Amino acid sequence: MAIRDILIVPDLRLKQVSTPVEQVDDDLRALMDDMLETMYDAPGIGLAAIQIGVAKRVIVMDLSREDEPREPRYFVNPEILSSADELQPYEEGCLSVPDIFDEVERPARVRLRYLNYQGELIEEDAEGMYAVCIQHEMDHLDGVLFIDHLSRLKRDRAVAKVKKAVRAA
C-alpha cells in the first residue's frame, strides 16, 4: 500500500470523466488499498480515484467515527438507481478543495448499485451522511466538484483561496 498525492483545484484532471472498470481484480484492489490509505492519511471520509489521478469509476469511503472501529467501504462502477425528491442541505468539504466548506443541497436518499471490493453486485439505500458522501464522490467520477454546485462567485473565490494557500505553502 502507498499514500498517493491528492490532486488539488484547479488541476484539470479533476474535470475528467472517469471510465467504467472492466473487472474487479487484484490490480484494482491494490488501487483501492492505496486510495483508502491516502484517504485515512489526509484525513478524509471519501475519495474518488480521479483525486489521485486515476480516471476509473472507483470510490472509497469510511464514515465511522473516530472512537469506532474503521469501516472501509469500496464502490466500483456505482450507479444511482433512484433519488428522493426531498432535498437536504449539508456543509461539504473536499480533499481536492482543501479548507473550503459550503452548503450543498442534494437528494436526501438514493438507491445505489455498485460492485464491492470482492466484485459482488450490491444494491442498497443510502441516507444521511452516507447519501451526501456517495453523491459527492460520484460527482467526482463525472468531473464535478462540490464547488461546481455553488454560485460562480463562490466557486471562483474558493479556487482563488486554494491557489493562494498552495503558493504560500
> Measured from the CB atom, is 15 or 119 closer to Ni ion?
15
- Which residues belong to the active site? 137
Q: In what order do the strands lie in the sheet with 46-48?
A: 46-48, 58-61, 73-83, 109-115, 121-127
> Measured from the CB atom, is 10 or 119 closer to Ni ion?
10
* 78 phi/psi in degrees, rounded to 5: -65, 145
Residues 114-153 close enough to bind Ni ion by CB under 5 A: none
> Measured from the CB atom, is 115 or 137 closer to Ni ion?
137
- CB 56, CB 31: distance < 8 Å: yes
- Chain centre to alpha carbon of residue 17: 13
Residue 85 CB, shortest distance to Ni ion, in Å, is 25
Residues 6+ apart with CB under 8 A from 12: none
> Measured from the CB atom, is 25 or 89 closer to Ni ion?
89
Q: Which residue has the cell 437536504?
A: 88
Q: Which residue is nearest to Ni ion (CB)?
A: 94
Residue 157 CB, shortest distance to Ni ion, in Å, is 18
Enter the DSSP assignment of 11.
-
Contacts with Ni ion by CB under 5 A: the residue count is 1
Q: Between 84 and 113, how does the x/- string for binding to Ni ion read (CB under 5 A)?
A: ----------x-------------------
Q: Under the rule (CB under 5 A), what is the footprint of Ni ion?
A: 94
